[in-house]
Structure 1
Amino acid sequence: MSYTDGPRPKRGRAVLWGSVAVAAVALAATAIHLTGALAAGPTETTNAAQTLPAAATGTDTGTPLASPSAPKPTGAKPSAKSPPKAPPQQPTSKGGWVPVDKTVWQQQVAAYQSRKVDPVPAGVADIAEFRADCTYSHRLADDPIVFPGLAGASHMHSFFGNKAVDADTTAGDLTKFTATTCKPVVDHSSYWVPTLYDAATKKPVEPKGFRVYYRSIRNNSTGMMPIPTGLRMIAGDAKKRVATPRGAHGQFYCAFYGPGDLDGVARSSNGNWPICDPNSYATLHYMLQYPDCWDGKHLDSPDHKQHVAYGNDKGCPADHPVRIPSLTFDITYPVKGTSAGYYLSSDPTGRTASSMHGDAFLMWDADAMNKRTKNCVLQRRQCDNDGYEH
């Protein structure tokens, strides 16, 4: 068996979207939450709170591993676990900076700069983005960014993309064990979010759609560079505990086909979760946006955020000068909402949506990343999973 064709062994431990309308509505919702939030100057200290809904700031800490690991011995397949009644006691991890390999980065830059753009077919929209569409892979109480090597140290996460990811995963693993739930398959990255649970049944609710946009979130793509292989970062705040009533930033909302109320026609009994129109196709939805500037020096930082920052239409902050595509997680859950509502594994007690967050451990084939960044984001043309969308 080749581990590139399936999940790698584990160590010691027992949609595509149905309609373009959904994406359009999701983008509209993002615009509602982000209106007026991208005006910070390029040299000021910018952070998620200035640019995003309230759910997009965070304080998770940990030390990612920088070097590849040896193949892992066979172990039991991960199994779904019931959520804890309270967040598990999380061990303290020593924070640290993970430097980029300068030679590897320079090689990627040289290849990117020498690449010519491909001819654009007629009818391609002037939207600066490409994307990956992923399905649910597995669920573990692991976080290889925040708690590397510490199996079970995290709250429960739902993983998408690379099928081999657990607490021990390193950048080298992502290039070696490449089976993925994403299209295109040249995206070997892993993406994960806290698991959502039905408050009445305490059963997990896994997304039916998980799209990752890579895009320019500005009115130009000047100086756009590809994302370096091995970059990892977090958006959102797993420790945030504030109510998410109707109209709140960072709330879940109702995605729908055609007219409808993004905030839902009703709310859960605690007011934190929308209830979507039962007579529509609306279901619960969440969008999470990442920074678009990188310091050019580190693949990770002690809080998994300091090495990246938000820029603006004029460019990036002086201490984060490399402009890169911004990720947006666009997540659809197959539920309409209930009076009992839901809770995230990161906040089973407060049962708000404010602790929603996402982790991205990025490992694309370098040439594929270069090609898409140049054709789609730098040139400001809309691409789907495989290239120009037409």
Structure 2
Amino acid sequence: MRIHKRGTSRRKLAALLLAGVLAVSGGSVLAAAAFAGQSPWWSQPAAAEQLGTVACGDIGASLASVPEAAQADIDLDLADLDAQVADAYRSLWEPGSGGDEQRVMSELGKKRSASLRKLAASAGPDSGLPADLSGMANCSIRRDLVVDASARDYAPDAAGPAAPSKAPNSGPVALGRGFVAITSVAPNVARPTRTGPATGTFTSRCGRNENGHLNPDNVIVAPGVSNGAHHMHDYVGNLITDAFSTNGGLAGAGTTCTNGDQSAYYWPVLRVLDGTVESDLKAPGGGRDHNKGRILQPAEVGITYSSTDGDAVHAMPRFLRIVTGDAKALTNGPANAHASWSCTGFEDRQLADKYPICPAGTRVVRILKFPDCWDGRNIDSANHRTHTAFSKAGACPKNFRVIPQLVERVAYDVPSGVRFAVDSFPEQLHNPITDHGDFVNVMTRDLMDQVVSCINGGRRCG
């Protein structure tokens, strides 16, 4: 049974920035400036001639609890709110749309008001939503958010297919401000130190999505909604994962994992902007949602479980849902940003809001770390986050228990000198800080017991 509750506490900004991803050279990535008392990147003044984006309050993140019987209706309402923002962004910035800012934003506010009233009625008095919803209905055009995250830096022009870079191996100038040479970044990530005895690892080998399992759904955040993600996802593991997957369906499905792990692992695709286009150029989740270019199949996919600090781990329940990262981090800020970017051979240097330019012969690497603490009761929560948490200084929050930490490492052979971008919601402008991953545990109890035994016993399995 899914139980939808969440705590009301919020992480404070200073504690939200990832220590291992922030400090980089050249003034290029994330808000190392925040620690020096300077304005962070998401609140800097606008630059001239800068593209803006549509910023709205994240309603789903504000939910404290919802009745289980109303969850399906609320999921649909939240998906409608996402679609409204995407439509408004398209109306404003697509060539030939004739978007008028005042008219578009006024219409968006009216649509959001209607959806919010409907959602609040379903969610009930304990939802955590304010009695006056007008503030949450209103959105703004934010140009300050994209000083170093312009759509011009990451994505092709909206009017047509991607254009290749001006010259191969021509460096950051040709690729845009959204890219930084990994060789210019100082090492900023230390090897983890495990003080406890649980030093083992468990690996599921699930392939590289050779079977082309792709869709723009999200069964965790938008179940029952086609194109609920507004961007394309890569899947490995469970063979049937889409918006309409049920627990029973997932449990009865096949898997790409060699050990029988039926879990669903998925993340946004990476596209290269080399002048070629994908078959979804005019489709939802693809070009219609400003995700253009050729989808790259991963060259490597690593799925590994371990104990962050060496503390003994407990078994995850079957059908536990866990998300990491924030698909709306550009407008939400970096509170839940837990993805990083690097290159093979340089993984002690990681970036968050820039893409890496990798030396010849190396691969672009995405690293997605998932929460390693669970509340011991719920397989999901109203905002899909607060039933899990990241440990801090080797400790889980009170009444939470340590679970195996899932780390996904996905590497790509990106052609030298060619721009690339992660798929995103249209208004998130392909900023790499929006990278994220989703996981549904569908391991059998026997397989999960193996995971726990290998980690706690200090063995390397899989």
State the TM-score, normalizing by the size of structure 2: 0.51
Residues of 1 paired with 2:441 and 2:67: CA distance?
Answer: 13
Matches of residues 209-224 of structure 1 in structure 2 within 5 Å?
A: 209-218=300-309, 220-222=310-312, 224=313
Task: Tell me whether 1:381 sits opposite 2:459 in the alignment.
Answer: yes
One-letter amino acid of the counterpart of residue 212, structure 1: I
Residues of 1 paired with 2:123 and 2:295: CA distance?
Answer: 31
RMSD: 4.1
What is the deviation of 1:287? 0.6
Which residue number corresponds to residue 326 of structure 1? 405
> Where does structure 2 lack aligned partners over 5 or more consecutive residues?
1-9, 23-29, 31-57, 70-86, 92-107, 127-196, 276-292, 332-336
| Per-residue deviation, residues 215-266 of structure 1 (Å, max 9, x unmatched) | 1010x323x2111111001100101228xxxxx985421114xxx68769xx
Which residue number corresponds to residue 164 of structure 1? 240
Structure 1 residues 180 and 249, CA, compared in 2 at 3 Å: closer, same or farther?
A: closer
SS of aligned partner of 2:329: coil
Contact 2:367 2:407 in 1 (8 A): yes
> Where does structure 1 lack aligned partners over 5 or more consecutive residues?
1-43, 67-83, 98-124, 243-247, 386-390
Number of aligned pairs?
275
Task: Tell me whether 1:151 sits opposite 2:192 in the alignment.
Answer: no
What is the deviation of 1:52? 6.6
Matches of residues 1-390 of structure 1 in structure 2 within 5 Å?
A: 49=17, 53=21, 61=60, 127-134=199-206, 135-136=208-209, 137-155=212-230, 156-177=232-253, 179-185=254-260, 187-201=261-275, 202-218=293-309, 220-222=310-312, 224-241=313-330, 250-256=339-345, 272-278=354-360, 280=361, 282-312=362-392, 314-320=394-400, 322-346=401-425, 350-374=429-453, 376-383=454-461, 385=462
Could you tell which deviates more after superposition, 328-337 or 359-368? 328-337
Structure 1 residues 209 and 240, CA, compared in 2 at 3 Å: closer, same or farther?
A: same
Contact 1:60 1:146 in 2 (8 A): no
Residues of 2 paired with 1:190 and 1:64: CA distance?
Answer: 26
Q: Which has the higher helix share?
A: 2
Contact 1:189 1:362 in 2 (8 A): yes
Structure 1 residues 168 and 51, CA, compared in 2 at 3 Å: closer, same or farther?
A: farther
What is the deviation of 1:371? 2.1
What is the deviation of 1:184? 1.5
Structure 1 residues 249 and 297, CA, compared in 2 at 3 Å: closer, same or farther?
A: closer
Which residue number corresponds to residue 33 of structure 1? none
Residues of 2 paired with 1:52 and 1:369: CA distance?
Answer: 29
Which aligned runs of 4 or more in structure 1 are off by greater than 4 angstroms? 44-55, 62-66, 84-97, 248-251, 260-264
Residues of 1 paired with 2:250 and 2:392: CA distance?
Answer: 32
SS of aligned partner of 1:380: coil
Structure 1 residues 85 and 158, CA, compared in 2 at 3 Å: closer, same or farther?
A: farther
Structure 1 residues 337 and 344, CA, compared in 2 at 3 Å: closer, same or farther?
A: farther
Structure 1 residues 194 and 353, CA, compared in 2 at 3 Å: closer, same or farther?
A: same
The alignment-based identity, stated in percent, is 27
Residues of 2 paired with 1:377 and 1:171: CA distance?
Answer: 26
| Per-residue deviation, residues 321-340 of structure 1 (Å, max 9, x unmatched) | x2111111111112255343
Contact 2:272 2:414 in 1 (8 A): no
Residues of 2 paired with 1:273 and 1:314: CA distance?
Answer: 30
SS of aligned partner of 1:360: strand
Residues of 1 paired with 2:358 and 2:244: CA distance?
Answer: 39
Residues of 2 paired with 1:316 and 1:45: CA distance?
Answer: 14
Residues of 2 paired with 1:343 and 1:85: CA distance?
Answer: 21
Structure 1 residues 349 and 318, CA, compared in 2 at 3 Å: closer, same or farther?
A: closer
Larger radius of gyration: 2
What is the deviation of 1:166? 1.0
SS of aligned partner of 1:369: helix
One-letter amino acid of the counterpart of residue 160, structure 1: V
Which residue number corresponds to residue 155 of structure 2? none
One-letter amino acid of the counterpart of residue 193, structure 1: W
Residues of 2 paired with 1:143 and 1:206: CA distance?
Answer: 20
What is the deviation of 1:361? 0.8
